[in-house]
Amino acid sequence: MIPSSPSFLGQSGLSVLLFGGKGGVGKTSCAAATALHLAGDSPESVFLLVSTDPAHSLADSLAGLATPPNLQIMELDAHECLVTFKREHGAKLHEIASRGTFLDDYDINRFLDLSLPGLDELMASLEIARQVESGRFRTIVVDTAPSGHTLRLLAMPAFLKQWICALNALLAKHRYMRGLYSGSAAPDELDSFLEGMTASVEKLEALLQDSARCRFVPVMLAEEMSLSETRSLLRELKRAQMPVTDVVVNRLYPDNECAACAESRSRQIRILREIFDSGSFADHALWGVPLYPKEVRGKEGLDAFWTGLIHLKVAPAVRKIPAVQPWVEAPTPCPATEKALLLFAGKGGVGKTTMACATSRRLAQDSPGDEILLFSSDPAHALSACLGVEVGPKPTRLCAGLTALQIDCEEEFQALKRLYQDELRAFLHSLLPGMDLTFDREAMERIMDLSPPGLDEVMALTKVMDLCEEGRYRTMVLDSAPTGHLIRLLEMPELIDQWLKVFFGLFLKHRQVFRLPKVSARLVEMSKALKRLRALLADPARCAVYGVTILTRMAFEETKDLVSACQRMRMDVPVLFLNLATPPSDCALCAAVREREAEIQRIYRQAFPEIAQSVVYRRGEPRGLDSLADLGRALYSAPLPVLTP
């Protein structure tokens, strides 16, 4: 039987409903519209709409809407959650540290202070679990961060278990001695605290895998990169045993006589045909939402969001549309040759990857003999889909002068952990082969688990700095994670620097035990690379942030956050690419969209008069090196002159 509407709009037993997907696909609109729909249908129940994205968009989406009394809104503040966690549990954590090994409480407490769960994904897990356990809300609707970081959120139960195991290792020796000398094996207050945390984590894990109480709804666009990322997301959700029954395909173009609409619709139909022909979505119901003339914000937009919903059963026939050349208004000068690092940044789904790839292609063409490195730190790997070439953790040659690299952040960190554990075990065995140091060894091995979230991403960037130091590449182009996570990443080096200093202090203080030359050498290398990275980020002559955005109010608000963060960190933002603008047309839909885009463009110019702004019109979906070369030629005018001292 064909369903008349998605199950998540009517299923009353759901405790948690999560909307996720590639950045910029409309997750926030879906989440907000669903929460309002549920609250309106069940006025006797109370609902919660919560955002876990560091770059919150809920307030922008609601646009001052007076929400019904049975719907509460929460934009999680990771820092505030950390302060609360420390206030409630800090004393217990410090006492656990003091009962540990030969490491004193000062040693361990410094690690705890730097590694306490306090960043977005981890804090979101704890807060959502707490709200579910409170029983106050019938359903909690979650607007998640873009795909790669959403998967980290779903992996947080395992991360929390690992973190709790590290704390348990610090208590293990105390438990043993207590049983040996007092004869009491009864758990004390600290044991109960860790048991309670473990129980909460297990409840969260069970909840996320319970199809009767939890549902994850992927949101996507009918575009190649969105399809690629959604397929990866579905694979990971299946691996995590997360229930998924519906997929939303947002912003579908109508079938009309407009050339611009027809070109976009033709591309979308090709993607829909690929979805149906491949069978990769066979276990899920697909729901299409049309492109609306007005931006989906406030009461009018959100109330009407689901009214145009259609059940997608088969893709229409593809109409052949002639290829069109990229069209850019007010192209900007090419980056100066002195720029060693270019970061492409902005809200998810605005075209950062495409712009980074096109820029890299243009730089390689303009500078024969020089080498350009294009790399990505976004957990949702998009370079391969954009380039049409498989890109992995090893440098991949794309063409003359251009190499690409997809950093595996997690593997970099796991390699450091393995090196640390192997060297520690070998050293302790050679030092005291006849002594049982089980408790001390396990506690020391677990110290690496008390590292700050985000260490893996910074380690990956320091690896690229090593390539820069070798002089192999004139310019490195970073396709970054979406705004909130990029800001966190740019601010992270200072925290990691503190963590390294704590580790070095531990090595010096206990140099009779911590004789780990390979680990020490690796951390020294990382520290040096980190200093080079911090110096590079702070040098406007050698580093620049190229902002990529679109002409919507929500994208504007996020761009304000990005520019403000860059100014705070004294980073140069020479240009904003106003991407995916609607070209002129007699079509009523295109005319309405262009009208609202023109108003947003005026707002951009008023807000950022000192930043050059290039309008990039929607003209197909550039994929492959040839199409990216065409876009690169359109984006930039003549190269900037070389600066001489």
Secondary structure class of 27 (helix, strand, coil) = helix
Catalytic pick among 41, 53, 436, 440: 53
**Which amino acid is residue 199, in one-letter code?**
A
Secondary structure class of 234 (helix, strand, coil) = helix
Q: Is 53 a catalytic residue?
A: yes
Q: Given CA atoms 639, 462, 561, 29 in this order, what sign does their dihedral have?
A: positive
Distance of CA 126 to the CA centre of its chain: 18
**Which amino acid is residue 407, in one-letter code?**
I
Number of C-beta neighbours around residue 385 at 10 A: 20
Count of residues for the chain? 645
Distance CA 544, CA 477 (A): 10
Distance CA 96, CA 107 (A): 12
* Largest separation between any pair of C-alpha atoms in the chain: 87
Distance of CA 473 to the CA centre of its chain: 27
**How far apart, in Å, are the Cα atoms of 604 and each of 308, 327, 401, 552, 556?**
31, 20, 35, 10, 7
Q: Which residues contact 368 (CB under 8 A, 6 or more apart)?
A: 400, 401
Burial of 645 (C-beta count, 10 Å sphere; 0-12/13-18/19+):
exposed
**Which amino acid is residue 215, in one-letter code?**
R
Closest among 578, 388, 354 to 477, alpha carbons compared: 354
Q: Which two tokens stand for residue 113?
A: 């202070």
Beta strand ranges found along 10-148 (DSSP E): 16-20, 47-51, 71-75, 139-143
Distance CA 82, CA 89 (A): 10
Phi, psi of 287 (to 5 degrees): -125, 125
Under 8 Å between Cβ of 546 and 530? no
Pairing of strands 285-290, 328-329: unpaired
Distance CA 24, CA 18 (A): 16
Distance CA 291, CA 254 (A): 8
Number of C-beta neighbours around residue 12 at 10 A: 10
Looking at the annotation, which residues are catalytic? Answer: 53
